[in-house]
Amino acid sequence: MSFVARIAAPLALALACALPAAAQQKDKGYEPQVGQAGKDVIWVPTPDEVVDRMLRMAQVTANDYVVDLGAGDGKIAIAAAKKFGARALGIEYNPDMAKHAQLNAEKAGVTGRAKIVQGDIFASDFSQATVITMYLLPALNLKLRPQILSMRPGTRVVSHSFNMEDWEPDETSNLDGRRAYLWIVPANVMGNWILEAGGEKSDLAFEQRYQKIDGHVALGPVHAGLRDTRLRGLAIAFAYVDHAGVRRDFTGRVSGGRMEGSFRAENGAEGRWHAARK
């Protein structure tokens, strides 16, 4: 056997063995590693039971458009579509991961409702979302906070593990030591309004810090403090005690520079009310 033949035969054999292995490797596709670097935060998936609680505490339905900021393998967007029938979008910076997540959506049979796209959450428009989900970092939540607060009132925001500092959550759930937080984007009611109820007009003023409101209503020289105030998205409630010592309770909805609803007084009086921004 010549030298060339002696070298060529084992080489050909080695190549023949190596080729199927290489093909097999390719078939396996991209395998993300927990802890791998991301643009602003590493990839760690949210456990299934926490994903479930996040979507349930946001009360996701088929009418929702859920956007997961930093989608990883797409599991939150896929669960929103598969379990709750929502439309869902995942935004993932890592292009390989975004492709892998989109493949997962295909495998889950939800591509009609869930999509994972490559993008930077800090350069993406997610203003149409009715529900935002995230598992990021405290500093990233804070960076996103102004954009989130400018979203449509009533938008629900859920975050795994990390809160938003002085914007207190509307709900905190615990699951095996893991926390999930919910916020509901509040309407802006801060400032002065004219309240009309039962044929009477009064000045009404609200102070507001996120979803927490307080205020007073002018009853002649008295600025009567509001009681039991509540703002949940567009839904507002407050009460005050009038000149005669009768408590009046108001519930209603905010719509831009107007709010309206119904009131009920302890003396049995009831009716509609509305208020307009001054």
Which is closer to ligand SAM, CB of 166 or CB of 176? Answer: 176
Spatial separation of the C-alpha atoms in residues 46 and 69, rounded to whole Å: 13
Q: How far is the CB of 119 from ligand SAM (least distance, A)?
A: 6
Q: What are the helix (H) ranges across 108-186?
A: 138-149
Which is closer to ligand SAM, CB of 127 or CB of 255? Answer: 127
Spatial separation of the C-alpha atoms in residues 163 and 210, rounded to whole Å: 14
Do 158 and 52 contact (CB within 8 A), yes or no? no
Q: How far is the CB of 142 from ligand SAM (least distance, A)?
A: 14
CB within 8 Å of 26: residues ≥ 6 apart: none
Residues in contact with ligand SAM by the rule CB under 6 A: 38-41, 43-46, 68, 70-72, 75-76, 91-94, 97, 120-122, 135, 160
Which is closer to ligand SAM, CB of 97 or CB of 114? Answer: 97
Q: How far is the CB of 122 from ligand SAM (least distance, A)?
A: 5
Q: How far is the CB of 113 from ligand SAM (least distance, A)?
A: 17
Residue 209, beta-bridge partner list: 212
Closest CA to 218 of 244, 198, 256, 192: 192
Which is closer to ligand SAM, CB of 100 or CB of 113? Answer: 100
